[in-house]
Structure 1
Amino acid sequence: MPCGPVATPGPSPGCPSAPPPALLAAQALVAQLAGGSWVLGPDAALGSSQLPAPAHTAGQSLSLRCSGARRSRRSCCCPTASSSASLWCPSMGAPRVPERTVLFQRERSGLTYRVPALLPVPPAPTLLAFAEQRLSPDDAHAHRLVQRRGTLAGGSVRWGAARVLGTAALEEHRSMNPCPVHDARTATVFLFFIAVRGRTPEAAQIAAGRNAARLCCVTSRDAGRSWGAARDLTEEAVGGAEQDWATFAVGPGHGIQLRSGRLLVPAYTYHVDRRECFGKICRTSPHAFTFYSDDHGRTWRHGGLVPNLRSGECQLAAVDRGQAGHILYCNARSPLGSRVQALSADEGTSFLPGELVPALAETARGCQGSVLGFPAPLFSRPRNGRWPVGAGSHSYSPHLCLGVQEPSEEGTGDTQGAQGPSGMEGCRDSPEEPGLGPGLSGIMAAWTSKVPGPPATLSQSPTWLLYSHPVGRRARLHMGIYLSRSPLDPHSWTEPWVIYEGPSGYSDLASVGPTVKGALTFACLFESGARVSYEEISFCMFSLGEVLQNLPPGPKPPGLGDKPLERCRPS
């Protein structure tokens, strides 16, 4: 819902005094960054150009936050004078739900669209949305891959018609699990997928210990307008390991490119841990890993498996550690009740032992989720151009800077990992710096005020993570967006902002760069429906400011070594 001034009857015990005019001006900018209109009462709407004057008149004031005031589930009232008005904001009541566009919808013939993947391709950016087209919702009835191509302009996306990717197929195989990745140096999009023989379901492959999947990809050099012939990379990239893999798959969802130029495709396999005599399977277990290329997609190899915990469908992000370089972060589906995260210090060639992420609960049968790294709104770097040593360092005192990043050495970029929009290698002292959304520092201050304890430092890590996943524990319900400011700490995740209420399933996140208003903007492509999650695939966009405004009160993201705090629940 949009923000708006709401009349209040009078002061209430325990409410704070009227805020100073400077704070009111900052609060107005906060609402402007969110991009919503203000609502006066139930009917009249005010656009962002008609924001109330920040200076309050005698006997009347505006208040955005309710510091110390009692909250209810639906509203928060902080009267500040005998005749006053308070600014109702989504984070104080019902969170805002982004507008969504349905890109793929189940047809009367039974054709169903599942397993979305989303990739921004610069410079516009162009957005490529992919999905499986199935003859029915069943995995065994997957058929082929489809695409819609969108152009971002003026803060909205104009989508072209859906089309079948005829070359993304092998004869007598069904195409599944779209997983696109963009090579910034060669301007090439690689669309990876698995081609599974006939109608052989994954469960049958696991039970028999005989893999029926092939690793394939098609490429485009014109931002998805056309695609080349399919390449079967199984022998090259999997090789002899296939004899120990009951089955495998990529993604689903986007891959990433590291600053070194390495291309990474997330994947998982059901590894045959032990066989009985006569080839009968005794035990298998799922493990996440990567396929990677160091020569811009000419050749591909597979990396080592996440060694300990069971981990399946996964996605990757590059996490900047300042002077210590970067580390690869993997977030994976698991049957263990919560997500599994694993780290790699060698760009996905191998992984350290995984660990459970208790803040990210799985649904009863598990579900795919998406993870996205982006440059944190950190304090700007010192004059010598170096990051502070270690996450959580807050030796800086200057302004906030969104989009600070190490420049790419050879023009390559992590288009879906820790790297932000191009042209944002630093920032000046002005709060109007391109790419720095107006009022972001106010939003940050307001967001950190929602959590208990002392103010949280903003420099937890040069990279923050977003994560999307259904929030339901028993069923795939309600698509949630989570935030971590300390990605290496599994306890650092916030409670979710629900961007869609109802059946929800697989999803994919993307960073689409700053909008015309300068706010860093993200997109989410996700399964949704009124009765079941596979009725349609929806698309929505939201800014970092909106994420911060709409996150519910939750644990203060701790620095490295801190213990997780209990959730602060409204009274």
Structure 2
Amino acid sequence: MKGMIDSMASKSYAEFHQTQPAKTSLFRQQKNGPTYRIPALIYISDAQTFLAFAEERSTPRDSDAKVLVMRRGSHQNGSIQWSPVQTLSSACLPDHRTMNPCPVYERKSKTVFLFFVSILGNTTEERQIVTGRNQSHLCYVTSTDYGLSWSKTTDLTNSVIGDEITNWATFAVGPGHGIQMKNGRLIIPAYVYYIHYRCFPFYFPLYVKPHALSFYSDDRGITWNVGEKISMSSCECEMAEILDHADQSHLYCNARSTHGHRVEALSQSNGAAFDKPHSAQKLVEAHFGCQGSVLSFPVPESSGEEGKKQNDSSTQFDTKTWLVYSHPTDKKKRKDLGVYLNKTPFSTNGWSQPWIINKGPSGYSDMTQYGQNFACLMECGEKSEIEEIAFVEFKLSDVICACNV
């Protein structure tokens, strides 16, 4: 009898592991028309509303990005109803293209900040790196009516980065969501291609290396600061707040890498600086890497782990929050988007095996949480990951069951 039960349980798990959440296509590539890339997603609980963002491009190339677009989603009659695609025409600078949507919601003022970068004309990232001449601007627009209307663009480049920009070959935010920490600090994840050495007297860059960092605000977005660079080579990133059993905050960074595995780092200064970056051996990257998304959330009460004591040596890595992460799982190409769970965020080996939520071509993704549910906005398709950007929902219990941890 026991063998039969074990067999049934194993079969049930195997069957569940192969299931994929139902997809809703929000942005689809048009034949001889625009391509949509670079998803970003937030859920505003005050309005029970999803805001889904993407770049609209005339071709799949980064240099042919044009504007940001958005759709609003709200629960109606047991399903999510989505607004038509809206072009965010105010999120731009003249003669610049708009890229890398990175939204964050400020709770007290009930303001959505949508950060992005504006890049001069069709100047490529590669050209900026080779010449050492940055053409990217740090910008944002705001909405105080949950995305129905948006402000004019604010350019923070001079006031926040200042003269340091001469050492930045180029930079960008996110892409994907920012966060607001428990103490109210707003965090915008970002990365910079930093010029470590130049050739004199010609002044062209000899050694340029990418580093993840954060922009942050402690006054509800009135003023902004730039944090220190993560010392290890790291690129596109997202961040999440981990609470230990003393309710102390630790800002976690999960960043893109070209060295086969993701880069992780922790900050004890709420993003002003990051310590001890390392390679996450369970989180693989394809050769050139890919963007990924990470969220933190409270340990569910039903887990029986929320009340464990910090001084219990068997639970030395326990926290009041867990992490969930989405990224393509294949080591060679962008395909098979998976969701990973980490119950021990301070452990360098805490990540579960992934649950595949999209079999086949998969690219960038962004996740958000509402209640005990999660949603993911992801690049996917039949032959290529740039065919559409789709929305999926799943429960925390689905992740726990599928990851079998």
* Structure exhibiting the larger radius of gyration computed from Cα positions: 1
On the 8 A contact 1:392/1:460 being kept in 2, the answer is: no
* Equivalent position to 2:386, from 534, 537, 552: 534
1:86-145 CA distances to partner (integer Å, 9 max, x unpaired)? 895244565221011000000123300000000111224200000000000000000000
Alignment partners' CA distance in 1, 2:79 and 2:39: 20
On the 8 A contact 1:181/1:190 being kept in 2, the answer is: yes
Structure 2 alignment gaps of length 5 or more: none
* CA apart distance, 1:151: 0.5
Q: Which residue of 2 aligns with 1:266?
A: 189
1:461-505 CA distances to partner (integer Å, 9 max, x unpaired)? 211101000011111011100010111212110111000111000
Q: Which residue of 1 aligns with 2:351?
A: 493
On the 8 A contact 1:194/1:214 being kept in 2, the answer is: yes
Q: Does 1:242 align with 2:165?
A: yes
Cα 1:460–1:392 shift into 2, 3 Å: farther
* Equivalent position to 2:34, from 105, 111, 117: 111
1:35-78 CA distances to partner (integer Å, 9 max, x unpaired)? xxxxxxxxxxxxxxxxxxxxxxxxxxxx5xx2xxxxxxxxxx34
* Equivalent position to 1:298, from 214, 222, 243: 222
2:187 alignment partner AA = L
* Equivalent position to 2:91, from 139, 160, 168: 168
* CA apart distance, 1:152: 2.6
* Equivalent position to 1:142, from 36, 47, 65: 65
Alignment partners' CA distance in 1, 2:19 and 2:271: 37
Cα 1:334–1:374 shift into 2, 3 Å: same
Name the SS for the 2:264 alignment partner: strand
1:142-187 CA distances to partner (integer Å, 9 max, x unpaired)? 0000000000346531111111000001000000000000000110
Name the SS for the 2:276 alignment partner: coil
2:228 alignment partner AA = G
Alignment partners' CA distance in 2, 1:320 and 1:391: 17
* CA apart distance, 1:355: 0.6
Q: Does 1:225 align with 2:83?
A: no
On the 8 A contact 1:113/1:534 being kept in 2, the answer is: yes
Cα 1:462–1:154 shift into 2, 3 Å: farther
The equivalences for 1:13-28 within 5 A come to: 16=2
Q: Which residue of 2 aligns with 1:431?
A: none
Cα 1:530–1:346 shift into 2, 3 Å: same
* Equivalent position to 1:123, from 36, 40, 46: 46
Name the SS for the 1:224 alignment partner: coil
Cα 1:392–1:164 shift into 2, 3 Å: farther
Alignment partners' CA distance in 1, 2:182 and 2:17: 40
Alignment partners' CA distance in 2, 1:147 and 1:132: 9
The equivalences for 1:548-559 within 5 A come to: 548-551=400-403
Percent same amino acid at aligned positions? Answer: 43
Cα 1:473–1:224 shift into 2, 3 Å: same
1:376 alignment partner AA = V
* Equivalent position to 2:264, from 341, 356, 360: 341
Cα 1:391–1:135 shift into 2, 3 Å: farther
* CA apart distance, 1:376: 1.1
Alignment partners' CA distance in 2, 1:301 and 1:235: 11
The equivalences for 1:54-453 within 5 A come to: 63=5, 66=6, 77-78=7-8, 89-91=12-14, 94-153=17-76, 156-277=79-200, 278-307=202-231, 309-323=232-246, 325-378=248-301, 379=304, 388-389=309-310
Alignment partners' CA distance in 1, 2:220 and 2:331: 40
On the 8 A contact 1:202/1:247 being kept in 2, the answer is: yes
Q: Does 1:482 align with 2:405?
A: no
Alignment partners' CA distance in 2, 1:282 and 1:131: 34
1:220-270 CA distances to partner (integer Å, 9 max, x unpaired)? 000000000000010111112101100000000000001111100000000
1:300-352 CA distances to partner (integer Å, 9 max, x unpaired)? 11010002x10000000000012161100000001111000011101001111
On the 8 A contact 2:47/2:146 being kept in 1, the answer is: no
Name the SS for the 1:353 alignment partner: strand
* Equivalent position to 1:507, from 365, 385, 396: 365
Cα 1:215–1:392 shift into 2, 3 Å: farther
Cα 1:94–1:351 shift into 2, 3 Å: closer
Alignment partners' CA distance in 2, 1:93 and 1:389: 34
Alignment partners' CA distance in 1, 2:112 and 2:276: 31
What TM-score do you get using the length of structure 1 for normalisation? Answer: 0.68
Name the SS for the 2:184 alignment partner: coil
1:381-432 CA distances to partner (integer Å, 9 max, x unpaired)? 77xxxx72258766xxxxxxxxxxxxxxxxxxxxxxxxxxxxxxxxxxxxxx
On the 8 A contact 1:90/1:96 being kept in 2, the answer is: no
Name the SS for the 1:243 alignment partner: helix
Alignment partners' CA distance in 2, 1:181 and 1:141: 26
Name the SS for the 1:171 alignment partner: coil
- Cα-Cα RMSD: 1.9
2:394 alignment partner AA = F
Q: Which segment drifts farther, 255-264 or 146-155?
A: 146-155
